[in-house]
């Protein structure tokens, strides 16, 4: 998978060289490249924003500069950025063949979920645009949708960040760990919260010692009876979900729960 990220703070994404993301790039599974939006400006101040039409506080990111940048990354234009500042412009060759998906973090958009992460992990090329200030001109995603480019906007939660960088870092991490070969142990992503048909919260986990500072691990987990352990974990998963995230359990079809679940 290739991931291009456009930001006025591309240095933010140096973190992508660390940990599992860095290893996946070393293995050739993933390529992450951050670009400085200001590389596509033409004025002496490298301005990317202007005052809001209709008045109001703050500044709005300009459609023209975003479009020059995104056209380049999407392979829709032949213009090159005016200068490189620590990051290089993407190689546009072949991008259109790989059906890139354009993603903008936006607090007013639908919530980014595990199922969105799972769907996007199948894509070959993702391009993220990080908003700043009061956000980006709303015509940018509209324009690219009209060009037939798959364009998504997602919120990562009901709060406001200073910019889209942290939101993109969250989405990139959630998406890339689902790419086959990314995780050392592929089973780690099978039994997890928000995953699978039911999307329940995961049961609580413990490690040794079984007694620590006066708190015991539930004895059933050390019983060696795998059937009972599975039952215990399943019950805990249902209980935690109904208590903490009842919205996740309301959609479940009772007929698909097993008989012991129904009698709980
Ligand atoms: N004026 C906007 C509003 O009230 O909805 C907030 C703009 S915010 C300060 C600047 C940028 O940060 C947004 O354009 C978006 O890219 C990003 N951002 C902030 N909060 C976010 C969230 N909860 N989810 C996704 N992106 C967010």
CA–CA gap between residue 138 and residue 40 (Å, rounded)? 19
- Say yes or no: 63 and 175 in one domain: yes
Quote the ligand 1 centre to 81 CA distance (angstroms). 26
Q: Which domain holds residue 257?
A: 193-262
For ligand 1, say whether the CB of 162 is within 6 Å of any of its atoms. yes
Which of 150, 170, 186 represents a domain boundary (last residue)?
186
- Say yes or no: 165 and 197 in one domain: no
Quote the ligand 1 centre to 4 CA distance (angstroms). 19
At 79-127, the pLDDT tens digits run 555 443 333 333 333 334 468 999 999 999 999 999 999 999 999 999 9
For ligand 1, say whether the CB of 75 is within 6 Å of any of its atoms. no
Q: Residue 257 belongs to a domain with what CATH number?
A: 1.10.1270.20
For the CA of 163, the closest atom of ligand 1 is: 12
At 39-68, the pLDDT tens digits run 999 999 999 999 999 999 999 999 999 999
Q: What is the percent of the chain where pLDDT is above 70?
A: 89
Could you tell me which of 8, 22, 33 has the C-alpha nearest to residue 89?
A: 33
- Say yes or no: 108 and 203 in one domain: no
For ligand 1, say whether the CB of 132 is within 6 Å of any of its atoms. yes
- Say yes or no: 137 and 232 in one domain: no
Which of 186, 215, 231 represents a domain boundary (last residue)?
186
- Say yes or no: 145 and 237 in one domain: no
DSSP 149-202: -EEEEEB-SSS--SSSHHHHHHHHHHHHTTSTTSSSSGGGGTS-TT-TTT-PPP
The verdict on whether residue 161 carries a ligand-binding annotation is yes
Q: Which of 95-99, 189-193, 203-207, 254-258 has the highest mean pLDDT?
A: 203-207
Q: Where are the beta strands (DSSP E) in 78-138?
A: 101-105, 125-129
The verdict on whether residue 157 carries a ligand-binding annotation is yes
* Angle ∠(20,236,207) on CA atoms, nearest 5: 50
The two three-digit tokens of residue 258, written as one number:
């097993």
Q: CA 109: distance to chain centroid?
A: 14
Report the number of distinct structural domains present in the chain.
2
Report ipTM for this prediction: 0.99
- Say yes or no: 219 and 244 in one domain: yes
Predicted TM-score (pTM) of the model is: 0.90
- Say yes or no: 198 and 126 in one domain: no
């Amino acid at each position: 998978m290739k991931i291009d990220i456009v930001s006025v703070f591309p240095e933010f994404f140096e973190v992508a060289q660390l940990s599992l993301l860095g290893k996946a790039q070393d293995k050739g599974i993933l390529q992450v490249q951050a670009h400085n939006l200001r590389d596509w400006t033409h004025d002496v101040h490298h301005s990317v924003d202007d005052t809001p039409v209709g008045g109001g506080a703050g500044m709005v990111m300009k459609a023209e500069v975003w479009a020059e940048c995104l056209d380049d990354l999407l392979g829709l234009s032949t213009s090159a950025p005016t200068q490189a500042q620590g990051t290089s412009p993407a190689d546009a060759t072949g991008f259109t063949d790989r059906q890139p998906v354009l993603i903008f973090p936006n607090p007013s958009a639908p919530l980014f979920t595990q199922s969105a992460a799972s769907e996007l992990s199948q894509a070959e090329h993702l391009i993220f645009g990080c908003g700043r200030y009061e956000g980006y001109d709303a015509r940018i995603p509209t324009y690219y949708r009209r060009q037939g480019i798959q364009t998504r906007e997602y919120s990562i939660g009901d709060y406001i960040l200073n910019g889209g960088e942290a939101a993109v870092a969250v989405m990139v991490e959630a998406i890339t760990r689902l790419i086959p070969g990314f995780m050392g142990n592929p089973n780690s992503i099978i039994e997890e919260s928000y995953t699978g048909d039911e999307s329940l919260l995961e049961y609580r986990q413990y490690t040794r010692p079984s007694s620590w500072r006066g708190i015991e691990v539930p004895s059933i987990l050390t019983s060696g009876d795998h059937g009972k352990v599975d039952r215990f974990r399943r019950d805990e998963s249902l209980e935690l979900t109904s208590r903490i995230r009842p919205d996740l359990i309301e959609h479940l079809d009772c007929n698909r729960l097993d008989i012991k679940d129904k009698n709980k």
